A and B are shown apart, each in its own frame.
Chain A
Amino acid sequence: MKAGPPDMLLEVSGLVSRYGRIEALKGIDLAVAEGELLALVGGNGAGKTTLLRAISGVQPAEGRVRFAGEDISAMPAARRVRAGIAQVPEGRQVWGPMPVEDNLALGGYTRSAAEVAEGIERAYAMFPILKEKRRQPAGTLSGGQQQMLAIARALMSKPRLLLLDEPSMGLAPLLVQEIFATVKRLKAAGTTIFLVEQNASAALAIADRGYVMETGRITMQDSGPALLADERVKAAYLGI
């Protein structure tokens, strides 16, 4: 255990983003420490997806984003991937008509051929079902398999920070468990993870720290277990 404040891998300050005249992010400040599993929970339309998109650079935003000590606010999306930020977008967004293996290979677009080959082997070891289906178009996979593919594809770029947007959305309970187990495994392997979830109880249960977001603002932050026990969080997001 390191003494003092941990090294912040990602620092976001005063982040504002708009869709037309509507402010989706109204000045977000947050930080993710190296090796941490951070959960961001909140209702529909709170701005969670917008925040992740702004961090990845695919959504215009004002304010400052620092990654690994470097200001990346003006950096285009492709370079942020090279810098070490990967995102598993909401709704999986696999390349449906392309074979599973091509999806993986393109996930490693920023990596050398050798690293891609190695990454694909790692992905198959992690999700054997993907190996079985490697020649099938990704669109023919089930929702859970597509989610595994989306996660494996993001890992292909060897990210230092993995942004996960609603990985459990639309999945059967058993698959949700499997996805969360995967997230835990990734954390155990040392990946820094920023997890956005509507399934607040599951997300907070595995998170080191959590943030609660409402209509474009961070309204609460605490350790995962503390938020899980908080009466307001329980009432608003856990349906207890």
Chain B
Amino acid sequence: MDEFLQFLFSGLTRGSIYALVGIGFAIIYNASHVINFAQGEFVMIGGMAAVFITANAGLPLIAAIPLALAIAGVAGVALERFAVAPARGASVVTLIIITIGASIFLRGVVEVAIGKRDYALPAFSGDTPIRIGGATLHPQSLWILGTLAVVVLALKWFFERTRPGKAMLATSHNRLAAQLAGIETRHVMLTAFALSAMLGALAGLLTAPITLTRFDIGIMLGLKGFCAAILGGLGSPYGAVAGGLALGLAEAMTGGYISSAYQDAVAFAIILAVLFVRPQGLFGRAGTERV
């Protein structure tokens, strides 16, 4: 039982990270129908930027966090502006290849500019584990779970109550109608990329104290986030949250009860299973092809 509780905590923690990354996939997919395979790099940029700022500029963590988020937001806008937007009208496969190229580029820039080794960020509120039942919980896990909850509520507010949020939603439901209503769909795209980048960076910042961070951490986290997003039905940010948590739990249980060697295989097995059996994801509506 204690064992189970331990795996549960671990699964929810990593699941929350996947969820944050997955929400980013969903938001960009909604706004542009692009699957942004550079999403993982935003996770990396968040962690690495915070490490770089605290170590080199000597700023406290509390100042480094917003700065790192801003840097990621700028990277997201730049990705849209200089890589995705110029290819407007290209096929989805072309756009996906562009984002893969952008991710290799971003990874390379950070590798050269900061370095190849592992970096750690201090935990937000210490490393003293919290005992619950027979299991322990790292205080950072509470930050991660709490942040995910706040993000979900904030997104709900953004999409249901604010003008730019509704405009973004309208653009994803029907781009033509949005243009005809005078919504600047170009701005919507930029906002979506900035928002997704910042959510990814937030995941990177939160996880850096427990898993360390390095220039290529985004590859795996990006794939896990993608898995979360398609498990939840690509276009749905809340689906991505459910997908992320489910993936995290599945990984933790596999790692705990079967073998940690198979842990990373879970995401791939889920991706394949979803694509074969239920391409619309757990919560997505059955796909309609636009003609």
Contact = CB atoms under 8 A, between A and B. Distances in A.
Size class of the contact patch on chain A? 20 to 34
B173 A96 contact: yes
A107 interface: yes
A153 B178 CA distance: 11
Interface residues of B, number: 17
Interface string B171-192: 0011011111111110000000
Interface in B163-208: 163, 166-167, 169-170, 173-174, 176-185
A24 interface: no
Contacts of A50: none
Interface stretch (A63-71, A85-93, A125-133, A230-238): A85-93
A86 B181 CA distance: 7
Contact of B166 (A86, A87, A106): A106
Contacts of A89: 176-177, 180
A109 B181 contact: yes
A81 B166 contact: no
B166 A93 contact: no
Contacts of B178: 106
A94 B181 contact: no
B255 to A, nearest CB: 38
Contacts of A157: 181-182
B180 A56 contact: yes
Contacts of A94: 174, 177
9 contacts: A77-B179, A77-B180, A77-B182, A78-B179, A82-B182, A95-B170, A102-B166, A106-B181, A109-B183
Question: What 7 pairs across the A-B complex have the smallest Cβ distances?
Answer: A81-B182, A110-B182, A93-B177, A95-B173, A77-B179, A78-B184, A78-B182
